[in-house]
Amino acid sequence: MLLHRFCNIWQCPDLSTRGRCTGCRITGSVGELSSWSANMKTTGEQSPESSGITMDDVKNLIKKKDEIEEQIKAYYDVLEDQGVGVEGPLVDDEGYPRADVNLYQIRSARHNISCLQNDHKAIMAEIEEALHTLHAREKAKREQDVSDAQEEAMEQQVTLPRPFARVDAVTEGSPASGAGLKVGDEIVEFGSVNTGNFQSLQNIASVVQHSEGKPLRVGVIRAGQKVQMNLTPQRWSGRGLLGCNIVPVQR
């Protein structure tokens, strides 16, 4: 009798054409999986506590989990082939080792199932922790984005100039409409007129009259944000050169 060098089975009855039995082919991967599980904890290569963990890392963990499950299933198949299962007796009614089954193969399969189940439990914990880490990071990122947006909005509100006029009508197809001016826009800049030098609407009228066919830089406050546009006073099918109505803002 020869001791099989892969699975420690005497007179292995299931030798394939390649010289390895079913148990051998399975056993060849157990060491790799156990080694990987140990290395994962010592090297931190797949540790979910790592600050750089990504969804790809989680997918790799899930792939390893699937491999372990395949190995466990294969070992159960070995036990099924032997007709004993995980709990079946290995001795006959008289207490002697059974001669109708391969005892070494069965014991090896049962042992490896136990080891792989421990690996499976460990990797499931790794996956759970990794997903928790990703979700926590995403939540923190969302909260930070909201905080940044609020801070930016507050800064803009503090730095926005006071409007001196408001648009209360815009005619469709007019130069004002084409430039993007909207009803409710509060004007803070109209060509050379700004918050600092505005005195009356005559200031705007004068700029318009002297700028026919020339683009004017117009700044407005819209929904708490400053919006810039270019408005070119010009003749069109309607009245005036702009096609909008502007009223002063009461201070």
Distance of CA 44 to the CA centre of its chain: 22
Specify whether 103 is located in the same domain as 33.
yes
Show which of 91, 121, 156 is a domain's final residue: 156
Residue 71 lies in a domain: yes
> Which pLDDT does position 129 carry in this prediction?
92
Helix (H) or strand (E) holding 126: helix 103-159
DSSP 51: T
HSE, side-chain direction, 13 A CA sphere, residue 82: 30
Neighbouring CB atoms inside 10 A of 162's CB total: 12
Q: How confident is the model at residue 219 (pLDDT cuts 50, 70, 90)?
A: very high
Specify whether 147 is located in the same domain as 44.
yes
Q: Which of 168, 179, 170 is nearest to 219 (CA)?
A: 179
Specify whether 69 is located in the same domain as 188.
no
How many structural domains are present in the chain?
A: 2
- In this predicted structure, the answer to whether residue 19 has a pLDDT above a threshold of 70 is no
Q: Which of 242, 206, 44 is nearest to 126 (CA)?
A: 44
- In this predicted structure, the answer to whether residue 17 has a pLDDT above a threshold of 60 is no
State the pTM of this model: 0.41
Q: What are phi and psi of 216, to 5 degrees?
A: -110, 140
> Which pLDDT does position 158 carry in this prediction?
63
Residue 190 lies in a domain: yes
Helix (H) or strand (E) holding 231: strand 225-231
Report d(CA 47, CA 51) in Å as an integer.
9
> Which pLDDT does position 198 carry in this prediction?
94
Q: What is the mean pLDDT of residues 50-62?
A: 84
Residue that has been written with the tokens 């890392």 in this structure: 57
Which residues form the domain of 244? 165-248
Neighbouring CB atoms inside 10 A of 225's CB total: 11
Residue 181 lies in a domain: yes
